[in-house]
Amino acid sequence: MDIQPTETTGRTISVKLFHRHGVDTEQADSIGDAIATVKDASDLDEAKILQNDEVVYASERNGTIENWEREWEREKRRLSAEKSTWDCPHGTEFCYADDRCIDCQIDRAAGRTDGR
Ligand SMILES: [Zn+2]
């Protein structure tokens, strides 16, 4: 995975479908949309998905779109899990739901948790 699989708006995503007789370029609203476009296409020699003119998927490099989609979804879940920080009552910056700071661990040990 060369880039982070976020789907922030404002990015331009396009799909290039390489046929024997030429190349079709289609715009996509999201990476999911681009994946669907590649899946719908038939008789492809090669397919590429570009995000802001950067190639994020190329069939000859990344394999089938189905495999890459699975990898993409897995990476996206991992990133969103990392972002789900929990609101530390002690204001500690590096305190996560599954990796609490010392103060929170003391709270939990003392039974003073909010149940999370
Ligand atoms: Zn904490």
pLDDT digits (tens, 9 = 90+) for 46-91: 999 999 889 999 999 999 999 999 998 888 877 776 665 578 888 8
Does residue 89 share a domain with residue 78? no
| Cα 74 to ligand 1 centre (Å) | 28
Separation of CA 26 and ligand 1 centre (Å) = 47
Q: How far apart are CA 78 and CA 19, in angstroms?
A: 35
Q: For residue 82, how far is its CA from the centre of ligand 1 (angstroms)?
A: 16
Terminal alpha carbon distance of the chain:
32
Determine the structural domain holding residue 95 and report its residue range.
85-116
CA 75/CA 57 separation, integer angstroms = 14
Residue 98: per-residue pLDDT: 76
The tokens for 4 are: 């982070």
Residues 112 and 59 in one domain: no
Cα of 97 from ligand 1 centre, angstroms? 9
Q: Is the pLDDT of residue 7 over 70?
A: no
Query: Is 31 found in the same domain as 45?
Result: yes
Whether 13 contacts 27, CB under 8 Å: yes
Q: Ligand 1 centre from 104 Cα, in Å? A: 4
Helices 65-83/31-40 angle, 10° precision: 170
Output the CA 66–ligand 1 centroid distance in Å: 40
**For the chain, how many structural domains are there in total?**
2
76 CA distance to ligand 1 middle (Å) = 25
